[in-house]
Amino acid sequence: MSQKEYNPYENMLAVLKQSAEKLGLDPDDYATLCYPERELKVSIPIKMDDGKVKVFEGYRVQHSSARGPCKGGIRFHQDANMDEVKALAAWMSFKCAVVNIPYGGAKGGIKVDPSKLSRDELIRLTRRYTTRILPIIGPDKDIPAPDVNTNGEVMAWIMDTYSMFQGHCVPGVVTGKPVEIGGSVGRVEATGRGVTIITYECLKVNDMDASSVAIAIQGMGNVGGTAADIFYNNGQKVVAVSDYTGGVYCEEGLPINEIRAFLAGGNTLNDYQNDKVTHITNDELITCKCDVLIPAALENQITADNAEAIQAKIIVEAANGPTTVEADEILNKKNVIVCPDILSNAGGVVVSYFEWVQNIQSLTWDLEEVNRTLNKIMLTAFNEVAELSKEKEVPMRMAAYMVAIKRITTAGKLRGGPISLG
């Protein structure tokens, strides 16, 4: 689909409007949310290793700070653009609101293919980008985190650059840092763990016995791999998993420990050999015989082309945007329960919040405290969304947006409304 046909920001506005109307809000109540509070576009000149100067384009967008400082990742991608970053910033506002952590939403990015840059070039790019966005970030203003093609190391460079300009160490300016410099234990696994918490609760409220369900997971990276480990170690039957090379299926349940060790060795699933497993394509995984389907790879995986054939009764969206609007309608008609991405994959931002709390209080939590508090927040959020879904007879996705938009608009009103300074 071309950029012209699909504008993520227009898509976000459509969802916002639909949810606000369901809530009975007046357009004046949510007008503020239709525009980001701040959009910053920067040019980032760096000296390349060959001595030439190259200028990259970067962005930081703050969608809403009604409920607290803005929060959201920074991605390095050749297709990054302002409309995408604007939409992702708004989705962060909704994600933080649905799990009720005191943040607004933001997102940032640099239009760059990081695989084409050396490590030294990447360091220079990250540091110069940080100085360009420095006036609008900070522990009380806007706290970046890793996203596509950025990681703990990149966060460490951002923290170091920001701290140099402040003249002292400011760990709370970013989250997702290495534990050695103020990162939180449990942050790396948090999104996958959150996905399993939502899955177990969804099974429970729908009277499905976790010990007998079959689970299929698309994507064996950080999120899918962690979720698979947790399910397997708890004795659940994971019948299918995949990576970008394809998947494997076994009706009796896969040896996840063996598969994870195989992948950790730098291998891919197409090379995995075991007499008990059948090799399948990623599309076959989506429609395979299972009770719970967890897309944990990319966006746009469940589409109008495969939604009708899906056999799962529950879908837990671990990836961002794995289901198209058309597929969503088909799934609703089939009474498939879809736990939406803004709820299901919020575990990462929740533990980012814990990291920031630890940083600004200069203390550390242990893993038990991190996981216990994550569990509590995810369960509360799930049940609030599930109850509203039941009460208003709307799908879980709509209910999640309604919860989020109500919280953000209420915060805005309590602060005096958008025109209170006028």
Ligand X SMILES: NC(=O)c1ccc[n+]([C@@H]2O[C@H](COP(=O)([O-])OP(=O)(O)OC[C@H]3O[C@@H](n4cnc5c(N)ncnc54)[C@H](O)[C@@H]3O)[C@@H](O)[C@H]2O)c1
Phi, psi of 147 (to 5 degrees): -145, -155
Active-site option among 107, 177, 313, 406: 107
Residue 177 CB, nearest approach to ligand X (Å) = 14
Rounded distance between C-alpha atoms, residue 355 and residue 369, angstroms? 12
Nearest distance in Å: CB 301, ligand X: 7
Name the residue nearer to ligand X (CB basis): 318 or 337: 318
Residue ranges with strand state E in 70-200 = 70-77, 104-111, 142-146
Alpha helices in 206-340, H assignment, sequence order: 222-233, 256-264, 282-286, 325-333
Report the distance separating Cα 168 and Cα 163, nearest Å.
Answer: 5
Is residue 107 annotated as a catalytic residue, yes or no? yes
Which of 44, 377 has the CB closer to ligand X? Answer: 377
Please list, in sequence order, all residues whose beta carbon lies within 8 angstroms of the beta carbon of residue 298, skipping any fewer than 6 positions away. Answer: 219, 319, 322
What one-letter code names the amino acid at 188? V
CB atoms near residue 302 (< 10 Å): 28
The 8-class DSSP code of residue 299 comes to S
Is there a contact between 404 and 372 (Cβ–Cβ < 8 Å)? no
Tell me the C-alpha distance between 224 and 240, whole Å: 11
Residues in contact with ligand X by CB under 6 A are: 191, 218-224, 242-244, 282, 296-298, 318-320, 345, 348
Cβ proximity to ligand X, 146 vs 412, nearer residue: 146
Residue 187 Cβ vs ligand X, minimum distance, rounded to whole Å: 8
Q: How far is the CB of 21 from ligand X (least distance, A)?
A: 28
- Rounded to a whole number of angstroms, the minimum distance from the CB of residue 393 to ligand X is 28
Nearer to ligand X, 22 or 77 (CB): 77
**Active site positions, annotated:** 107
